[in-house]
Copies of this chain bind each other. A is one copy, B any other.
Amino acid sequence: MDKNSDMYSQHISQQFNNELEEIKNQLLSMGGLVEKQVSDAMRALIDADSGLAKEVRRKDDDINQMELHIDEECTRILARRQPAAIDLRLVLACSKAATDLERVGDEAAKIARHAIKLTEEGEAPRGYIETRHIGSRVRRMIQDALTAFARFDPELAFRVAQEDKSVDLEYKTAMRELVTFMMEDPRSITRVLNIIWVLRSLERIGDHARNIAEHVIYLVKGQDVRYIGLKRMKEEVLKDS
């Protein structure tokens, strides 16, 4: 290869690397925004702040637009760059993680909707402590899943998947208590149901964080670890790739 064409192909490949880096950065900033939406929605709920809740609902469309934009970029890279191996996995993982983040944004908007209802109907008599606790845990899961993505860290990703299982248990306990409470105090049903829907949304957010973590493992290890259970997932993560 003569020097000019070598420089040309280096130039192309540098540009391609920049594009990949750019799409990853877009995903991470979408993640930051989504994480803030969850945090604001929870704060609106705890502080009965309907103004903040309305802001969360307004911002949901920004997140939708970010998903569309990332997805378009991914398709453009697939069509023009025809990536292979880890580059291809990065593009696919970005596209899938963007879908999960968009759904997390939807759940944050739903939490905000119930926060607004609770300011109208009056505070629920129970469930705030559990909800706040599960809320912090799933926010942390989102943060960790994104850090794992940023650092290509499958071990951190695995810990997110582990955490999801433990959050599910806490969710079930909280739900049982709220149902028992409703039976003892039927006048509280509509208000407690709002908290129940919030809990359900938080549990879904945990699932999406786990999905993102699984995309990271796929991206780094080249192995699809969905549906194989935590034990086998751990083996795949510890395996040399």
Contacts and interface: CB of A to CB of B under 8 A. Distances in A.
Contacts of A182: 182, 186, 189
Interface of A: 61, 64-65, 67-68, 71-72, 75, 78-79, 82, 84-85, 88-89, 92, 96, 99, 179, 182-183, 186-187, 189-190, 193, 200, 224, 226-227
B227 A61 contact: yes
Q: Closest 5 A-B residue pairs measured CB to CB?
A: A186-B186, A82-B82, A64-B227, A183-B189, A79-B84
Contact of A88 (B79, B179, B183, B226): B79
Contacts of A96: 99
Q: For the complex formed by this chain, how many copies does it contain in all?
A: 2
Nearest to A64: B227
Contacts of A89: 75
Residue with the highest number of chain B CB atoms closer than 10 Å, among A82, A85, A88: A82
A193 B76 CA distance: 46
B179 A189 contact: yes
30 contacts: A61-B227, A64-B226, A64-B227, A65-B227, A67-B226, A68-B224, A68-B226, A68-B227, A72-B224, A75-B88, A75-B92, A78-B78, A78-B88, A78-B92, A79-B85, A79-B88, A96-B99, A99-B99, A179-B189, A179-B190, A179-B193, A182-B182, A182-B189, A183-B187, A183-B189, A183-B190, A186-B186, A186-B189, A189-B189, A200-B200
